[in-house]
Amino acid sequence: MKKMLALSAIACGVVSPMTMAAEEVNVYSYRQPFLVEPMFNEFTKETGIKVNVKFAKKGLAEKLVQEGEYSPADVILTTDISRLAELTDKDVVQAVDSATINGNVPSQYRDKENEWFALTLRTRNVYSSKDRVGKLGDEFNYADLTNAEYKGKICTRSGKHPYNVSLVSSMIAHHGEAETKTWLEGVKANLARKPQGNDRAQVKAIREGLCDVSLGNSYYLGKMVNDKDQKAWADAVYINFPNQKTEGTHVNVSGMAMAKYSPNKDNALKLMEFLTGEKAQQMYAEVNYEYPVKEGVKRSELVASWGDFKADDVSLDDIAGYHTTAIKLLDEVKFDL
């Protein structure tokens, strides 16, 4: 009878065939194939467990909600704390009890209920023109972006992009809502143009003389350095780590979670533990110019050349709690208009 029910479910398209095979694990991923497939191949080589991946640019949380208990997903890979928080908010993931993962991932980079875990770190930097500004010192803070000397000289992507929302959320965590709103008003007043484009577009604008400083994630510098069409942009700027004398530079993450109805839970746990281990962390660091979340793992040579920095140690779980307030403030100051 059970066999008949299972076959009927598959025929109706309710259960994916991915869930029926033994020694497999199914991944839903926002991360690009070139980045994760080498690690999955290594995992399969070591364990014999095949990794099936569905790649997407958006909508994974909604897909998991729609699929419900019939979802074939075991592990979700995503970028940014906001997308990790969305998974918990929509109740599509489950807590994972693993001494291995907890030993590899520092407490500020995982959910308090162990429902998500960071895999890599990226800093929210300020890029400065080599010719017109020079290297910003350790005294430079995000708060300084409101100074008169930067009037008409700042470029940024949309304030509502997750990377900027997380930065604003961290400002709220440290300085409160009122002070953060004043800061946003000051930054907007200093913009050289309406927020637009991505982080690389801001560095391009510095190269072209449209602005002198910009906000951007650290790993984009590595990508530009190794792109023959964009290397000139990278060569035109310095990467700076704000708040070195105060709370530290804001850090965001890419991360993972176990799907709520994981049909291959044991294999999912094995993959998650592997991804936080030294070998996978080293591969992440080399391929995408990000910082390993596991302490002691060597950075790529290029990333190491940017120098050491003090990272903000406020819990990302706490920062995620301010995202709604951050968006409200961005609306109130009409940051993107």
Give the residue numbers of the binding site for Fe cation.
219-220
d(CA 334, CA 89): 27
d(CA 232, CA 227): 9
Beta pairing partners, 129: 237
Residue 316 φ/ψ, nearest 5 degrees: -65, -25
Radius of gyration in angstroms for the set of CA atoms belonging to the chain, rounded to a whole number: 21
∠ CA(245), CA(246), CA(251), 5° rounding?
105
Residue 142 φ/ψ, nearest 5 degrees: -55, -35
Q: What is the β-pairing status of strands 75-79 and 24-29? A: parallel
| Strand stretches in 181-230, DSSP E | 213-217
Please say whether the beta carbons of 155 and 191 come within 8 A. Answer: yes
* Nearest of 116, 124, 123, 197 to residue 156 by alpha carbon: 197
d(CA 164, CA 324): 13
| Angle, in degrees to the nearest 10, between helices 162-175 and 81-89 | 90
Torsion of CA 79, 54, 294, 217, to 10 degrees: -30
Q: Say whether 238 sits in a helix, a strand or coil.
A: strand
The encoded tokens of residue 234 equal 């990278």
- Binding-site residues: 219-220
